[in-house]
Amino acid sequence: MKITQAKEILDSFADKKIMVIGDLILDQYIFGDVNRISPEAPVQVVRVDNEKYGLGGAANVSNNIKSLGATPIVLGSIGNDLGGAQMKSLFKKSGINTNGIFPTEEKPTIQKRRIIARNQQLLRIDYEDTRNTDHEQQEKFMNFIKKNIHTLDAIIFQDYNKGLITGNLIKQTIDIANKNGVLIGVDPKKKNFFSFKNVTLFKPNRAETEDNMNVKISDKNDLLPIASKMIKRINCHYLIITLGAEGMFIFDRHGSYSSIPTFTKEVYDVTGAGDTVISTLMLALASGCSIKNAAIIANHAAGVVCGKVGAKPATKDEILDSFHKWNNRK
C-alpha cells in the first residue's frame, strides 16, 4: 500500500464514532533498577524510580481510537474505589467521555500492577473479581447502547473474561447493531468465544484459536481448514487470526483468504498490541476500507506499539512513519 493511500484512510477516521464494550483495566507500571538479591528470600530487589498509570483492556482500545482521531464511546464498569477514580481521571485527561462508565459496589476496579526493570517485566500482580456483573448493571449497559446506537459506526467487544460481557449482553447488542447497520468487531477470549455469532469481524490470536478449536497450528497450511470451520460456526463476515511474528491470516465468508507479514522491527513489549489491532481494523472497515487494507494498516499500528513499553496507543503519524520505513526498506 502506498503512503498516500494509507494517509487518506487514516484521515477518514476523524468522523467515526466507535463504541467499546468490555473489561476496563487500570494499568500500573512501577519502574526501577535491580542490583542485588534480597537477604530475606532469593528474590530480586527493585529500587523504584517512578510509577505510572495507564488505561488497559477495553480502556486501552478506547484510547487507541481517540489517538487515531476518532471518537470512542466507552461502555464498562469500575469499582467505587481509588482505582476507579484514577481510571476516570485518566479518561478525562485523554479527552474521553465517561458517561458510559458505571460504578458498582459489587466488584472492585480491575488493576494490573507491573514491575519493570531495565525494560524487562519482572512481575505482574492482578487485582480482579471475575464474577459476572449483576442484572442491574446489565440493564444500565443495554439502556446506554439503545440510547447511542443511532450515532455509532461500529461496536467493538473487547472481552477479557473478567465478567462484564455476558451471553445475554452479547446477543442483545448484536441483534440491535445488526438491525441498525452498525458494524461489530470482536476480540474474544475463551469463555464467550462461540457466543459472538453474526458479527462483522472476529479476531482471535493463534493461542485462542488453538484452544477453542482444539487444534494445533504447526504452519500456515493448517490455517485454511481451521478458518473455514470457525467462520461457518460463528457466521462472521471476516475472520482474522493474528500470528504474532508471522503476521495475520485473513479469511472471509466467501472463502477468499490471504496472509500479510508483520511490520514490527523491534519488539520491546507486546502489551496492548491486540487492542491496537482491533481498534484500527474497525476504524478502517467503518471508513469503507477493504479487509486486506484494513489489516495492513492495523499490522503497522501493532508494530508501532510493540516498539513501546506498556500499553500505549499508536498515532497516525507513527503509523505513516512505519509505512515510510517499510516501503523504503524494499
Q: Which residues are identified as catalytic? A: 275
**In angstroms, rounded to a whole number, what is the distance separating the alpha carbons of residues 24 and 237?**
27
C-alpha cell of residue 272:
496492548
Q: Which three-class secondary structure string do you get for the chain?
A: CCHHHHHHHHHHHHHCEEEEEECEEEEEEEEEEEEEECCCCCCEEEEEEEEEEEEEEHHHHHHHHHHCCCEEEEEEEEECCHHHHHHHHHHHHCCCCCCCEEEECCCCCEEEEEEEECCEEEEEEEECCCCCCCHHHHHHHHHHHHHHHHHCCEEEEECCCCCCCCHHHHHHHHHHHHHCCCEEEEECCCCCHHHCCCCCEECCEHHHHHHHHCCCCCCHHHHHHHHHHHHHHHCCCEEEEECHHHCEEEEECCCCEEEECCCCCCCCCCCCHHHHHHHHHHHHHHCCCCHHHHHHHHHHHHHHHHCCCCCCCCCHHHHHHHHHHHHHHC
Strand pairing class (110-117; 24-37): parallel
| Cα dihedral 107/110/115/118 (nearest 10) | 180
The Cβ of residue 94 has, within 10 Å, a number of other Cβ atoms equal to 15
**In angstroms, rounded to a whole number, what is the distance separating the alpha carbons of residues 135 and 270?**
35
Strand pairing class (183-187; 101-104): unpaired
